[in-house]
Amino acid sequence: MKIREYEAKDEVGWVRCRVLAFLDTAYYDNIVPHKEKYDNPSIELIAEIDNEIVGLIDVEYEQQERTVCSRGSGLGGMIWHIAVHPDYQRMKIGTALLAEAEERARRVGLNRLEAWTRDDLSVNIWYETQQFLKVDSYLHVYMEGDEIKETLSSNIPHIFPIKVFAHYVGNKHEEVKNKYRRIHECNCYEKRLD
């Protein structure tokens, strides 16, 4: 396996790897047709085996405190994407990508990494085994049909929402979880690099 910096020519393989990796997760419908570009500096790495992209990690990082990360002090980096192609999972590729990203993060003066992920048990366990601590959470709420009618209304005549994705940041998690069919807890993990 070779870990190297992402290049523009890698975009199709990057998108394919991410889509396939996310299919069996709570992010199964979070499909992107292109790789994001970041406003701030970033660490963008891919893992290759036989010229195929089998893993990726993107970390956008701060040059000024709290401009990318949502918490903490000092300069941090946000892991926006980390994914391993399903045919290559359980081969420590994600761990190797994270280790390389951490080394590069230290070199640019970051003192922590932050990552947000949904409630997939295996993913949350992976972050914990990588020495990340869960420091926050909120709910991702998906609404359809009657769930929308009971919750939202439009100020514009003849416009009717069909599907809604919302963030719930209040403190009545159980009440919200009991009201909607599709809810995910979105967990914030943080790892100190010093």
For the stretch 37-96, pLDDT in tens is 999 999 999 999 999 999 999 999 999 999 999 988 899 999 999 999 999 999 999 999
pLDDT at 127: 98
Residue 144 in any domain: the answer is: no
Residue 112's SS3 state is strand
CA 135 – CA 91 distance, rounded (Å): 28
Residue 76 in any domain: the answer is: yes
Give the distance between the most distant pair of CA atoms in the chain: 56
Q: With CA atoms as reference, report the closest residue to 189 among 112, 88, 103, 121.
A: 112
Q: Please, what is the average pLDDT of the chain?
A: 96
pLDDT at 121: 96
Q: Which residues pair with 23 in a beta bridge?
A: none
- Whether the CA torsion 168, 15, 92, 23 is positive or negative: it is positive
Contact, 45 vs 7, CB < 8 A? no
**Kind of pairing, strands 2-5 and 42-49?**
antiparallel
As to burial, measured by CB atoms within 10 angstroms (0-12 exposed, 13-18 middle, 19+ buried), residue 125 is: exposed
Residue 109 in any domain: the answer is: yes
Q: Where are the beta strands (DSSP E) in 66-162?
A: 76-84, 112-117, 133-144
Q: Is the pLDDT of residue 194 over 90?
A: no
Q: How many domains does the chain have?
A: 1
Which domain, by its residues, includes 75?
Answer: 2-116
Phi and psi angles of residue 24, each rounded to the nearest 5 degrees, phi first: -100, 25
CATH number at residue 112: 3.40.630.30
Q: With CA atoms as reference, report the closest residue to 18 among 29, 7, 8, 9.
A: 29
Residue 147 in any domain: the answer is: no
Residue 183 in any domain: the answer is: no
Residue 57 in any domain: the answer is: yes
Measured CA to CA in angstroms, residue 32 lies from 15, 16, 35 at distances of 7, 10, 7
Residue 167 in any domain: the answer is: no
Please state the rounded mean pLDDT for residues 153-168: 93
Residue 148 in any domain: the answer is: no
Residue type, 161: P
Q: With CA atoms as reference, report the closest residue to 55 among 102, 31, 87.
A: 87
